[in-house]
């Protein structure tokens, strides 16, 4: 009888250890997911600020083009700069989207491996 109790106690201890390991792994995956989400939110906030700034620059450029049509060469250079900024922001957004997709795929693989 004592031997059966010891075996049951060992089995319970083993199962308890397995569950603790599983919960620990789940906690790690959740923390990684939260860190990724936080990082993504931060990047999105930065992009939003850049777009607001870009909108202000575009608005200013339109106002200048209406009020002063004399300096076309200068305005042309500014438009090229704005277009370059837009292209750069679009590329950064595409890169961020790719990074988020990779992070999501990694999280999915980690979750499936459990």
The pTM of the full predicted model, rounded to 2 decimals, is 0.40
- In tens, the pLDDT along 30-76 reads 999 889 889 989 999 999 999 999 999 999 988 877 777 767 777 78
Report how far residue 68's alpha carbon sits from residue 61's, in angstroms, rounded to the nearest whole number.
10
- In tens, the pLDDT along 25-39 reads 999 999 998 898 899
Query: Locate tokens 């930065």: which residue?
Result: 46
CB neighbour list of residue 47: distance below 8 Å, 6 or more residues apart: 89, 92, 93, 96
């Amino acid at each position: 009888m004592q031997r059966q109790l010891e075996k049951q106690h060992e089995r319970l201890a083993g199962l308890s250890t397995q569950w603790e390991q599983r919960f620990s792994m789940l906690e790690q995956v959740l923390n990684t997911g939260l860190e990724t989400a936080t990082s993504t939110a931060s990047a999105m906030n930065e992009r939003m600020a850049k777009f607001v700034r870009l909108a202000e620059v575009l608005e200013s450029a339109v106002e200048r083009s209406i009020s002063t049509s004399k300096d076309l060469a200068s305005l042309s250079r500014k438009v090229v700069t704005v277009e370059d900024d837009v292209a750069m922001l679009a590329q950064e957004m595409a890169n961020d989207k790719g990074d988020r997709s990779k992070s999501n795929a990694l999280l999915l693989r980690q979750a499936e491996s459990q």
